[in-house]
C-alpha cells in the first residue's frame, strides 16, 4: 500500500508495478484502424426519411443509431420516442438494415474510395498552396 505521507510504495507494490510494465512491453500495441464517421440519410420523393449514424472502417460499416425523420414536417421530428438503441435490436433486423444500406451503395469499398479521394484532394490543395506561397515569396 502506498504511504499517503511519503508517497513510498510497499515492496509488494513495486514488484507488481515492474511486472505490469514488463507485460505491457511484451504486448505490441495494435495500430488504430482508420475510420470515418457518417450520417447516412435515405429518403424517398415524399414522406419520412431514415437516418443512420455510422462509423465506417476499411472492412466494415458499423451502424451506431438509426431514426426516422420527417423532412416535409419538421414538427414531427420532435417525437418523444426515437426508437430503441440499434444494438438492442434483434440480430436479424440489424443484419437486414446493414444489407439495406449496402444495397443502396453504402459499402466499405465506397467509403475507402471517398477516404482516398479526401486524402488526395487535401494533398493537391496543400501542394497548390505551397506553389502559390513560393510564387509570392520569389516575386
Q: Looking at 1-5, 41-45, 105-109, 131-135, which range is the least confident one?
A: 1-5
pTM: 0.62
Whether 79 is in a domain gets the answer yes
Compute the CA torsion angle 13, 14, 19, 23 (nearest 10 deg).
90
Domain residue limits at 95: 36-108
Q: Enumerate residues 6+ apart whose C-beta is below 8 A from 50.
A: 41, 42, 43, 66, 67, 68, 69
Number of compact structural domains in the chain: 1
Whether 119 is in a domain gets the answer no
Whether 9 is in a domain gets the answer no
Tell me the pLDDT tens digit for each residue of 32-64.
777 889 999 999 888 889 999 999 988 999 999
CATH for 55: 3.10.280.10
Whether 46 is in a domain gets the answer yes
Whether 123 is in a domain gets the answer no
Amino acid at each position: 500500500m502506498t504511504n499517503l505521507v511519503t508517497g513510498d510504495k510497499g515492496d509488494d507494490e513495486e514488484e507488481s508495478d515492474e511486472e505490469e510494465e514488463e507485460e505491457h512491453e511484451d504486448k505490441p500495441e495494435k495500430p488504430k484502424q482508420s475510420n470515418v464517421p457518417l450520417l447516412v440519410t435515405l429518403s424517398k420523393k415524399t414522406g419520412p426519411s431514415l437516418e443512420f449514424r455510422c462509423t465506417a472502417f476499411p472492412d466494415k460499416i458499423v451502424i451506431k443509431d438509426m431514426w426516422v425523420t420527417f423532412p416535409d414536417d419538421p414538427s414531427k421530428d420532435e417525437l418523444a420516442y426515437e426508437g430503441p438503441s440499434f444494438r438492442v435490436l434483434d440480430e436479424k433486423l440489424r443484419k437486414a438494415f446493414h444489407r439495406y444500406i449496402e444495397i443502396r451503395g453504402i459499402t466499405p469499398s465506397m467509403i475507402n474510395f471517398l477516404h482516398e479521394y479526401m486524402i488526395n484532394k487535401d494533398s493537391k490543395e496543400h501542394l497548390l498552396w505551397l506553389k502559390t506561397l513560393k510564387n509570392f515569396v520569389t516575386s
